[in-house]
Chains A and B, each alone.
Chain A
């Protein structure tokens, strides 16, 4: 990369990073406010029906819940900035110790879904584009449209019925993982959630790849190459693909950003011990430090993937690359 270009690009990255940090801050404020707006608090959640006024007051003092909202937020923010996201209000465990394994589990899920799902969707898109309106194209396009219309959990439940509980009984319908052990120790439990996520990301990547490839295949330079007698495979993979993939890469990044939310639902269906399930639980317990941490991690993931997507778009498009 020549130094002339580095400057605008670096400015671009820095600006996006600054905006990203600002976004995270706003998200944390909003989520904090939203949690405060919920009825009840962690002390009440912990004590349940046994919340006598005395017990409630003593626990609220212990958890600092009796202080003004902004002081609570300040306490939290100060902790996070100094690298100590605090302890769970509900069970006193360190937030980091509680959330880290869940983040790892979710990361495994997303990585596997990407590793298998992305190439599959890309390949299907390329094949469909080269045989446009053929049987493969027609059927896969229809399936992709249907999948795009279905929410994640419907896909998940459908797979459970099909592969786990009713039609055939091959796979465990829920992903039970003993705490402290890795999800990778029992690969079977990963199959259904990963498959669900693969199907969820498939339509977007497939349709983008197909559309982009079809457009390129109709362009003049491909026509020329074809007239020159280039083989179909060589034509597609070497000449068309590099140009067709640029917009798709951005879609891939955005799809994964979207999955930061989708993973919550999928984990919920399969009782998969990931960050999404942890977040749902923390919300019911009004466990603010855990909620905040989970949300910031998920939002951070979303923001960074968006930056990556934009960056890739810039790098892949010469006009944007030089404009700064």
Chain B
């Protein structure tokens, strides 16, 4: 999951390059308008009466958010389009599945010892890389070192921090023993983000992108298009159905939608939710609505005034009218959130529910001596509905006399030098298991600690949880942590958001997922065309 340009709005990142850009802004507005006009006649979904899958065909995938910094380097996605590309080529040991449950991919089993300080990874038999080499334990050790390389740490490095890299041991061809420096009970959950933990062969060279995935590399032109061919030796026998996948970068959502309507592409992944209303039954285009996976939190820095006072944080959480925010920002396409992430984790505490309470919020603000609170919220088109949600929050907060001034910036400013330093801002995430998300965001060592959360009691609970192999007991500890998130944490999570993929009626086999990864976790292996 990269955190860069995510929708077409954000592509228009700058307003400081003169008249060219302002004309492009016009262009965008006009082009989006034309989508509305253009859509009515053609678009419409088809009841997917799935007959038996058919072999063959070239699926043309269109997406926005790519750029000339696109990459196919394993485990180092940069742009939105990198994720599906990399997930075609490379596969992880384990991954969140469509329901957000962590399951084995290349791993046959992962077994911890009694203290969770040593894990034994056993690999599936007869998995081969695209170059014909067999997958072995040595490749896994190489991949871990590649990701966690202290000289060039990749985004997944944090999740591998506990590993004692120097003392990993290949027990046999398919078995690797992984000692940990500290207990790591949720090691599988930690490395369940598929785009960051793809296994590469020993001596992997980014110029020769060889993985075990359902498709192998044919060509790649950053910012334009890339072609992948069927991996005839894929370990899931009979798959994939498609001969070829072509991934095409689009600069604007309007162009991508036009291309879909004109039959130039077969799938427009991560389309704007606003296009849903244009899709009518009976036409050549259908929509696949994924279940809520992505979330766009408001982030309050707990080490800086006014949010260093927990009363202020809680007051803001209480001021959010979540159903209204979801309705306005995403036409209701999502699920209400209650300031705690990872709703699909078995250790998620469903009892933590928050309703709007203006009176209580006012009381808390009085208690904090902040009756007349004026704050600035930095917002940007980082995800669908993000800016609208910020606007709604500013409106809703007025009920308690809180004046939120919106500072709308471009995405490159948002993710520029001040990223992770804004006092009050937003960010976006895909689904991760709870403890894995904590490691990414809420520990002192976390790479994306937007709220500067560094709570000794909380960290202790985290360490305890990671040292607890008994799932039920671990969930109890996680519940305690979630109570802290809920009461005093710096994140406001108003909702978990749907995403939509648009595709021609001839495309089958994709199933909705609730992880935030589109196209059913980009499951190209199971897709086919009629």
Contacts and interface: CB of A to CB of B under 8 A. Distances in A.
B68 A282 contact: yes
A219 interface: no
Interface in B227-280: 227, 246, 248, 250-252, 255, 258-259, 261-265
Given A40-B416, A48-B2, A165-B42, A91 B69 contact: yes
A154 B261 contact: no
B255 A174 contact: yes
B38 A161 contact: yes
Contact of B3 (A48, A174, A179): A48
Interface residues of B, number: 64
Contacts of A173: 255, 258-259, 261-262, 264
B38 A165 contact: yes
B456 interface: no
B18 interface: yes
Given A176-B264, A269-B31, A280-B24, A48 B78 contact: yes
Nearest to A162: B38
A271 B250 contact: yes
Contacts of A47: 78
A48 to B, nearest CB: 4
B224 interface: yes
A166 B78 contact: no
Given A173-B264, A174-B262, A282-B68, A161 B4 contact: no
Contacts, number: 172
A172 interface: yes
Contact of B251 (A44, A166, A280): A280
Interface stretch (B8-16, B46-54, B104-112, B459-467): B8-16
Interface string A26-50: 0000000010011110001111111
B79 interface: yes
Interface in B8-40: 11, 13-14, 16-18, 20, 23-24, 26-27, 30-31, 33-34, 37-38, 40
B332 interface: no
Contacts of B225: 176, 178-179
A50 B2 contact: yes
Contact of B79 (A48, A171, A180, A283): A48
Shortest Cβ-Cβ A-B pairs, 6 listed: A49-B3, A48-B4, A179-B221, A173-B258, A173-B262, A165-B38
Interface of A: 34, 37-40, 44-52, 54-55, 58, 88, 90-91, 151, 153-154, 157, 160-161, 164-167, 169, 171-174, 176, 178-180, 261, 264-265, 268-271, 273, 277, 280-285, 287, 290
Given A153-B27, A171-B262, A280-B251, 8 more contacts: A39-B16, A40-B413, A44-B416, A50-B155, A151-B23, A165-B41, A173-B259, A176-B265
